[in-house]
Amino acid sequence: MSRLSVRLLVTVVAVSFLLLSIASLTAPAFADSQARVVRLSEVQGEVQVDRNTGRGFEKAFLNLPITQGLKLQAKHDGRAEVEFEDGSTLRVTPDTVIGFPQLSLHDSGAKVLGGASAGRHCLCQVRWCQRR
């Protein structure tokens, strides 16, 4: 192989590697991402959270970040409000447990919350869209 052929082969391999690297970095940008700013914006009475760490339910507090896998429980005198990054809210009434198994943000900006409520015996999947 001539010196020119080796140089050309090395250049082609380097450019191919660069293009594949750029493609792999941009691909996750098109997938759903975790909703980043979800918090407990109001807590009244006895409200607890299970952060899915194996410790069980603990006392909830104002501005607690809500993350995927967290469970929120309002006891008989408890009420809570969850605020999403666009200002929309979810109110939790007494004697309710709600789970957040899926918190995602679509490319379009639509937020998806998948949750189950015990005590009220309902199963829900709610879709939020950005306010206009």
Note the pLDDT tens digit of each residue in 16-57. 766 666 656 554 555 555 556 789 999 999 999 999 889 999
CB-side exposure of 80: number of CA atoms within 13 Å?
27
Per DSSP bridges, beta strands 57-59 and 47-50 are: antiparallel
Answer for the pair 101, 114: CB distance below 8 angstroms, yes or no. yes
Task: Give CA–CA dist 23/43, Å, rounded.
Answer: 44
Rounded-to-integer distance, Cα 73 and Cα 98, Å: 6
Over residues 80-104, the pLDDT tens digits come to 999 988 788 889 999 999 888 877 7
Record the tokens describing residue 105, joined without a space: 């943000």
Confidence of residue 122 (pLDDT cuts 50, 70, 90): very low
